[in-house]
Structure formats: structure tokens, C-alpha cells
Structure 1
């Protein structure tokens, strides 16, 4: 059951996501990259140390596209905890990029970033979610290496992943 604070946080989060998408260069539809989304869900596991410590995360996965239309880097924004960045480094080679490469080709994307908003929300009664945590969480979601992203972006629909407590 969702508390009032969790509901308020979810509402604010969805409002920010809507505004991000509305003001983007373009947005792809989720069905256009379903295998990519599944590969993220399957391979980019939320570290148990984060969920055990009630850490929620809102971050952007950035796929940098070169001037030749090739993906050169895949990284998380500065709002991601270091443990999740390490999980990305381990999982990156497992991502299914065929649909994203087709999207790049079909849309003739070059010298831009493809932004995929990711949210890891905790479904746990033991984890209180305050607005201070939420404000910290979104503060650097458009920052990479301490600087706001300055290029054009092609935004994918966000993915919200609910992390449940482990039952032992």
C-alpha cells in the first residue's frame, strides 16, 4: 500500500518525467525498443546494498551517439549511486542494442545523446521516503561528470523499476 508521501513523490517524479519528455527534441515509443528495455531490466540489477539501505534512484542512462551514428559510450548521470554505476559497467555488454541502432539509423541520429530515464523505486514498508531524499535524487540527473549535458538529445520513454524486499 502506498503512503501519502510515496504518492506525492511518485506524482512529482511523473511530472518531472513528463516535462523532460515534452521539452525534448524527440521521443521514441517504448514498443520501438522493447528488447533493449528487457535487457536493461534483466541485466542491470539494482544492488542489494542500495535497496537494503532504502536508497531510491532516479537517473538517466545516456547512450552517446558519434558523428558517424555509432554508440560510443553508455553511462549513467551523476544522480546514480556509485554502486549502480559499477553494476552498469558489469552489465553494459549484455544490453540488446539492435533496436537502438535501428532507431539511430532510421532517425539519422548523429552527434547527440539518447537519454533513457531510469527510476528505481522501493516497495517496502520499512523504507520511509522523504522529500529531502527525492530532491537529492533529482538534483544531478542531467549531469554527467559534474556538468549538465549540453548536446541535443533524443529521449526514450522512462522505465520505472520497482524493487521489492528480499524474502528470506
Structure 2
């Protein structure tokens, strides 16, 4: 609720407007005391024993990497954390299909239904299969423990010169 006051020439001004006006004249700066978070600013915390979700990534060459994730982890960012080549060019904004992956049964059926935006991006992914999903849209839960995520043989990325993008 704003308190309204009167100033010269019959103009009506709220208390907030007065404060803003006075703050501009003052040399005192009104700054936030809370810590700011920057793009990509995320500190990983090891999972508590009851939050552990074991995941296996099958790489393009067929080797398997067993990873300990935690409830709430994003599959794409988890892959980045452990050096697995799941690109993620759009940084989980549903604007590409570079984090395309295959989810093995029975875990595929346990995942939430994909949003329409995810299905639109999957339509652009090469080597699409019925069990295809975007890794950036999969959030780990306890019932996904033991999930196997297979990387497709190819992905559509934006690099043509052999450059391997590094997540940032």
C-alpha cells in the first residue's frame, strides 16, 4: 500500500516515488547486500547417502562410465561435470538437440512426459529413436537409480572443423 502525499502544483506523489527522488539526490547508494549469482555459477555439493542416484553413461565408443549423481541433478550437467561429451550448446534452454541421448528401459517409462518444446527439438535430432530424450530435460529422482543413458552415434552441433566444445 502506497502513502500518497501532495507537493507543489497539486501533483500527487507516492512515498516510493519520494524515496527514489531523494535517493537520486543523495550520494548514498542503495545496493543489494545479497550475493549475486553469475551465469553458470553453481557449486556442486556431494550427495548425501539418501540422495545418491547411480547412472551409467554409454559413450559413443561403447565404453561405460558409472557416475554417482544426486536427486535433482540434470543429466546433461552431470555429464559435463564428469567430462562426458554431451554437448548442450543452448545450455538447457530447449533451443537445440545437441544433448540428445537414449534412455534404456525400464527407466524411459519412468520419466516425465516430454514437453512439446522438447519434442520439437527432438524432431531435429539425427539418429532419433523411440527412446530418445534431451539430456537437459531429465532431472534425476530416486526411482531413476540405475538408469542407463546412451549417447547417439552423431549429434547435430554447430562445429564443422573438428572442434570439441567445452562446457562453461
TM > 0.5: no
Which is helix-richer, 1 or 2?
A: 1
Bigger Rg over Cα: 2
Which is strand-richer, 1 or 2?
A: 1
Higher relative CO (CA 8 A, sep ≥ 6), structure 1 or 2?
1
Which TM-score applies when normalising by structure 1? Answer: 0.28
